[in-house]
Structure 1
């Protein structure tokens, strides 16, 4: 029985309801719960593969152990036995048993074969136990003489039971119990058959049965505890990878959101400053100032193109449609513009009502900044024509594009806003206001950057040439009409990052599959990193693989870490 846990009470106004979530089994290593949870999250196959790796490492230890035990045993009987002639047969049997035993178990090192045929592990383990039992009983039977009261004792009885539970690759606990029980019964039967009733002390059979029962109980405890540790470790790794991917995805959303508002060269310094301030707060240090320090808050971009776009008849539109329709229309329209801006590598600065302006060549140098802005302008015109047909409204786009230099920076302290300034920005604004609906109004400098054969070029309207700003700065402007109105069909580049709030609640099926595939790959890598024993003879390799743990007693070299580990609660024993 698990101790009852206090239930949390949630205050929800006039009524209170209890939280019925019980986390006792998560805190305690319940073997039935762990087995069910492993199956629930779909880790049964991965767990089996890792257990095969573990048993293979255990076998490598057993091979060395059995060779040492065999050599030591043979040396002992050769040195201390009184009748040497009878011992040579035993030595041959033990060495032959060792060679045969290792040959049978070596099949488990064929990784792919064992992974496809798991029954090989049980079969080889059973044969290994039979070989050890046969060798032990054969030597006893050869030397047994019923005419004397001498009985040859068993050497491998305790050894066989512990080997079955600790080293042999037996897939299930029940199979281990069966093998261990058979071994114990064989030894008890041998003891009873070789001893006459007069030679059997009172209670000797019960004592032997209790002895083998205790050995099996120790082995069963070891197997169950090992299984719990492995399953718990698997669930820990599963949770770790899951949380790591969620954190990575959240950071990607955060970065995409910030990059959609601020250029990377400015957002990186701001994010670094925010992280420093969060670290200071977590450490208990309150920042002395409230405002954020911004390195390079204002930057000069000497070779860019600026696009200003305005929705024609927007004022009339706001008086003829209801608010919901207007919001849906603008959301649809500006969403199309944002995707087109990513396609043509243009960074949107902001939109104010019916005004939308953006810059090409600011985030990173781009020799095609002018062409990208012009192509974006015609894509906007094509998009607004589709929106006009969908909603049945009379709207159009008036677009102006100018190339030159700008100042870009972040305004505000509590709420940050990227903006641009400069004479060339003002010229682009005037180009938009003096242009024609359905056309792109460009300056002579922008025209010099693009291929004139791709567009139909017309002189600018007379009122544009008479504008005071154009006269002051000697600006020549032209009207462009596109020969290809399908620019908006261009899909974004695969590397382009489009951040959408609508995708936060529900991801597309393709992205879900991609995330699931990535999760499985990361999980497989983590499972491959899970530790198994392997022999290391290079001290440098040993130190690099576990720099904080001593090889002799598996203790932390750092005393503080060792004390912290010792004082942790042991959930197996609930203490």
Structure 2
């Protein structure tokens, strides 16, 4: 069972791009594990209500435009053929009005969707049939608005926003009605063509497939929105909880008396800064120390530092030190070591502070080896002779805060002095460790005996310290990157174990707060929300007010072009699936032309275009395909240059807007070329007998004209 805690950004590109399965299924599982399905359902319901007004205006506007085009472009328009369009305009609001309420059950929404879908279907059918009957002409071969009816079913009608297969069943049912209509029209015309019927069935099937993919994209966006908002809510509650538990957290790190003193000092200092009072020198504050009996200490010093100070300018030297110490700190975070201080060219850190963990010696030696590697990389990049001497020793320390004006957390002990002597008696590029540290390491480290200088060191002799030089670490049996994950998971697990009660409370609070947040989320403009929009304008901090202020009402884009650009420039993980759907559309076009017995030359051209689309699908999905076979981490990048280039191309298609947009345009043009192979055979005279418009697919599927 997956953990109920939400510790990572699952909606981020870096997180979603590393999973093996389908991205929308991963988000679905995440919503279930976090118990956010109710929030997702509520957001879908809000989007559905917002779409009700939009679909009514779309249908009314579409009917008006269609009637105007018929009256202006066609001669001798049969007015009776316009009756279905007026019927649609009149009855659509009455049918859809039931879905404009918040308290309507899902069954009512589904019934309204079925009624509206078949109402549009039959009006589409009768518009052509009435014109043909009135003129005594041949019956129409295919209807005009089949694609729009299916689009409304999958994207706009209320049934499209409910979980399950209701929308797919309705879409297939409408498709069956259209196929039966085409078959019956052929029967009335005494010209039954199974080739035409098969082509039309393929056409409806690919429409259902494309619009079904649109529903997947919409659900993917809804779940990303919910998870993103949940992450904000969760982090806000965590922040508030941490603020409330600050005292307990400090007491778990520092002695209780030191916590009280520091809190008092902080409050006094803030008050003094507000009053512009300069803190006076005083020794009234007591010194508090805390013992840590089992830690590992690292002391590093730069070799040839004096030569660098005499040969480099001060800004250049500071830049080099900054580059080194920043990378050292990042490595310390990875290796669970705490940097204590750095002075000039010296760098000190300790593993095992503030919380003890058994692997402190391994983490400290790993930190030392990584620091040496970082130093060598920077030295090679800058063409300088930079190296480190590092000493590592395991023992006890006393840690505390000293100072008055500038506080400093530092460590002191005999073992700290021993570590300093290990560093001075070591060799550049090697880690000088004591026998105590070596005994805590596993067998993955390569080492030799220590230096002669260490054997002659009086401090080390007095303490009975035997030393060794560690040169490297043998590779683990597990894949690179798993060790870091184990460490981080262990750290998170121990933290959760200590504060499990807090996080259970946070999870419950976040789920309750999330339902309130969903109600405030903006899902789009709705004509029913006009009153709410007016009232929200009074509150400049409301989400609805900010949405209306920053986004154009009609264009539905950000008012600031920089924001719009940043929005479109985000990585698109669904691009590979979009190209796959386009390939399926191309395959359907090729199948239709093959059934209609197109010229061999046209078929060869279409096959070549389809092969090119298949190559594009392979390039876009190569990263995903490779991830199914082998885990991809920065340490496991392929060595073969062709594989690396394929991975880069796949990542560029996902990441770069400058690649996705031209690629999409090219693919759409290729699909247009495939679908227009029969366009020269079209004739606008076909519009006259039925006095209605025909879709391009209608002309393409009419082999007898």
TM-score (normalised: structure 1)? 0.41
Structure with more of its chain in helix, by fraction: 2
Q: For CA contacts below 8 A with separation 6 or more, give which structure has more relative contact order.
A: 2
